[in-house]
Amino acid sequence: MPYKEYQNPLIERYASKEMSFIFSPYNKILNWRKLWIALAECEKELGISISSEQIEEMNNNIEHIDFDYAKEMERKLRHDVMAHIHTFGKICPKAMPIIHLGATSAFVGDNTDVILMREAVSLIRKKTINVVNNLKKFSLRYKNTPTLGFTHFQPAQLTTVGKRASMWLQDILLDFEDVEFAYKTLRFRGVKGTTGTQASFLRLFDGDHHKVKQLDTLLSEKFDFDKVFLITGQTYSRKQDSRVLKTLAGIAESTHKIASDIRLLQNLKEIEEPFEKTQIGSSAMAYKRNPMRCERICSLSKYLISLTINPYLIHATQWLERTLDDSANRRISIPEAFLAADAVLELLYNVTDNLIVYEKIIEKHIKEELPFMATENIIMESVKKGSDRQQIHEIIRKHSMNAASRVKNDGKDNNLIESIISDQNIPINKDEMETLVNPKTFIGRAPEQVETFISEEVDPILKQYTSSIGGMGEIKV
């Protein structure tokens, strides 16, 4: 019976081609070879007997990667780095004697991991700033649109649609700051040797400490890293992994929260994620418009958060200068964390770029609840006109109880305002009442807060990253 091997859904269904490429076998081995070439160039520059012909041979064959031969060699040698040294050496026979000279496996493994993480963080940064831009536009568009606020998912004081979105925006902006910090503080492992003492390189350079330090500096500069671990064991501190994945988990907690809010609002029919003309909400219920994209964001965000326990466990259990029980875990958890973060940002960009707002439904819900919220204002206005505060309070309390019973027990509209206007004991006419229950008088400084937040905190960052805005792809499914 024909079958296909298991395919990772993160790659097949969710993450972008760009992020998938970053963690592809090709890109990984390509960077191993770049590191071997750079090491040889630096060693040659510092006086080691390496010819230009050997370096040219490696450069000419850098992209010719025979993965089948590498697999064959790894089965024989049980060592992936040595397998690829032999694979590279097979097509670079002149360079074979100097490939990986003085280095340990972590030289290519760890340095490549940092290079790939930097590429991935850069892509995450781009996608985060695009979500920021979407939410900025949405917040400004609806900054003045009143809506019910909710505490405990119970109707509370009014806010605005834009102010609520600016809360989402603020969370993503905090994530962006963390992403930027992660990018700027990533440290290269550099050239450190078997247990981090650089002993093999000191021997290579006949005890010349200065040249060993130069080698570390020159190689790190070739890969544009200005921050390099000065102290390592065989590997760089795995604490760097947990710092980076913690940033990705921060994105997941924000995207989950935003998507959950939209799911709740979609149930209320106030705001809806995009729904395409040919999209099917349910295989059974033809009328359904399920928030499937937001549900997928929540699903992948949970997975991403769960992945971030891995680097903490890895770092905590690295014995002394290193132990290999980090390797298999890191091969899976680090790429998948980035793939998941990429996927949720792609989805959130798609959702926030096309959010649907049903203003008439929002107005309807306000009208159902605002009369109760307006009672305090009605009492104050009545007292200003000479009424006794306690008497008015009791009168309005009775009207409120009757209106609430009418809504809950009889399923009728909230008639509290009409009831109060018809009561001769309350000195407020219809025109005055319309002013008192105007939703815009209940939103406080929400519009101004949105404007201030965006002008002072959001716009300066967007201006700095103008070139990163745009170029987002379509989600796969």
Q: Domain check: are 183 and 236 in the same one?
A: yes
User: For residues 188 and 111, is the Cβ–Cβ distance under 8 A?
Assistant: yes
At residue 284, the pLDDT reads 52
Task: Check residue 2 and give its pLDDT.
Answer: 65
How much is the pTM?
Answer: 0.91
H or E, element range at 9: helix 9-9
Residues 387 and 291 in one domain: no
Tally of structural domains, the chain = 3
pLDDT of residue 465: 95
Q: Are residues 118 and 168 in the same domain?
A: yes
C-alpha to C-alpha distance for 342 and 105, rounded to whole angstroms: 29
- The reply to whether 296 falls in a domain is yes
Count of alpha carbons within 13 angstroms of residue 452, beta-carbon side? 5
Q: What is the CATH number of the domain that holds 428?
A: 1.10.40.30
Domain boundary among the residues 75, 98, 121 is at 98
Task: For residue 97, give both structure tokens.
Answer: 């004697």
Please check whether residues 92 and 33 belong to one and the same domain. Answer: yes
Q: State which residues form the domain around 86.
A: 23-98
With beta carbons less than 8 A apart as the criterion, state whether 102 and 201 touch: yes
Q: Is residue 279 pLDDT above 80, yes or no? A: no
- Which candidate in 49, 152, 210, 467 is catalytic? 152
- In this structure, are residues 20 and 338 in contact, taking their beta carbons and an 8 Å threshold? no
Residues 153 and 173 occupy one common structural domain: yes
Verify whether residue 282 is a known catalytic residue: yes
Asked whether residue 157 falls in the same domain as residue 306, the answer is yes
Catalytic: which of 51, 282, 405, 455? Answer: 282
On the question of pLDDT at 206 being above 90, the answer is yes
Q: What is the mean pLDDT of residues 454-476?
A: 91
- The residue from 64, 98, 132 where one domain ends is 98
Average pLDDT score over residue span 246-264: 98
Residue 60 in any domain: the answer is yes
Query: Does residue 280 lie within any of the structural domains?
Result: no
> How high is the pLDDT of residue 282?
52
Work out the mean pLDDT of the chain and round it to a whole number.
92
Distance CA 260, CA 266 (A): 10
Q: Which of 19, 54, 24, 18 is nearest to 36 (CA)?
A: 54
Q: Could you tell me if residue 476 is inside a domain?
A: no
Tell me, yes or no, if 256 is annotated catalytic. Answer: no
Q: Is residue 234, in this structure, part of any structural domain at all?
A: yes
Question: Confidence band (pLDDT; 50, 70, 90) for 372?
Answer: confident
Two tokens at 226?
A: 């200005």
Q: Indicate the pLDDT class of residue 286, thresholds 50, 70 and 90.
A: very low
Give the CATH number, domain containing residue 89.
Answer: 1.10.275.10
Q: How far is CA 144 from the centre of its chain?
A: 28
Residue 184 counted as domain residue? yes
More confident residue, 434 or 254: 254
pLDDT band at 276 (very low <50, low <70, confident <90, very high): low
| Listed residues 57, 74, 98: the one ending a domain | 98
Report pLDDT digits (tens) over 107-164. 999 999 999 999 999 999 999 999 999 999 999 999 999 999 999 999 889 999 999 9
The answer to whether residue 68 sits within a structural domain is yes
Do 401 and 352 have their domain in common? Answer: no
4-8, 66-70, 445-449: range with lowest mean pLDDT: 4-8
Q: Are residues 82 and 231 both part of a single domain?
A: no
Are 127 and 73 in the same domain? no
Let me know whether 253 and 306 are in one domain: yes
In a domain, 119, yes or no: yes
Whether the pLDDT of residue 242 is over 70: the answer is yes
Which tokens in the block code for residue 443? 């939103």
The pLDDT tens digits for 319-367 are: 999 999 999 999 999 999 999 999 999 999 999 999 999 999 999 999 8
CA 96 to chain centre: 42
User: In this structure, are 337 and 291 located in the same domain?
Assistant: yes
pLDDT tens per residue, range 73-109:
999 999 999 999 999 999 999 999 999 999 999 999 9
Residues 292 and 168 in one domain: yes
List, in sequence order, every beta strand (DSSP E) within 116-187.
146-151, 154-160
